[in-house]
Structure 1
């Protein structure tokens, strides 16, 4: 269970990101998002999750901008 220090369970992190628990586990396993283990439960710091969201949003915006530029170049 998450504690008052702003740590989230894997399921809570998945719910915040609106993705599956399995996807969050993969991100944690790959080190994309930091995590810790407390009393046998894997936890994600709320701030680490927010940082991941900021990075992911930036990547998505850049991709959208690139697609928009490509569309303009093609005359769409």
Structure 2
């Protein structure tokens, strides 16, 4: 999760290396103890008990940082602006607004502003990915039928 000071900054080389090593060790620990529902972690002399789900999220976050990616955590119930949603989908804001107005994505209005629930955005993105993969499979099957060598 970012604070106001580091929002949007990519991890530096030192942070990337540390994240890689930590993600690797955490992955090994989770694999060795698949039945463990929680883990005790020590931070500056203070013992913390974390649920397994938090450890999995931490591992995934570290893995992204190890690849040099910035990471932002968004609660599934969060409402996003049209600009934020467009950024996540990697489309222009006007294109996203068009999708909203065509009923492709549900949204609510807060005054004159549109808001999109994060979980609705992810469902749309997954469906779009599924349709894309289906179209690619169909094209590959057609190419095979036509003997195009794909």
State yes or no: 1:66 paired with 2:128: no
Listed as ranges, the gaps of 5+ residues in structure 1 are: none
Quote the RMSD (CA, aligned, Å): 1.2
Listed as ranges, the gaps of 5+ residues in structure 2 are: 1-74
State yes or no: 1:31 paired with 2:79: no
**Larger RCO (CA within 8 A; separation ≥ 6):** 1
**Distance in 2 separating the partners of 1:35 and 1:19:** 17
Task: For residue 15 of structure 1, give the secondary structure of its aligned residue in structure 2.
Answer: helix
Provide, for residues 17-44 of structure 1, a one-character-per-residue CA deviation record: whole Å limited to 9, x for no partner: 0000011000000111000011321100
Task: For residue 126 of structure 2, give the secondary structure of its aligned residue in structure 1.
Answer: helix
**Distance in 1 separating the partners of 2:88 and 2:95:** 12
Q: Which residues of 2 match residues 1-76 of structure 1 at below 5 A? A: 5-76=77-148
**Distance in 2 separating the partners of 1:13 and 1:48:** 10
**Distance in 2 separating the partners of 1:29 and 1:14:** 14
Deviation for aligned residue 1:12: 0.4
Aligned residues: 73
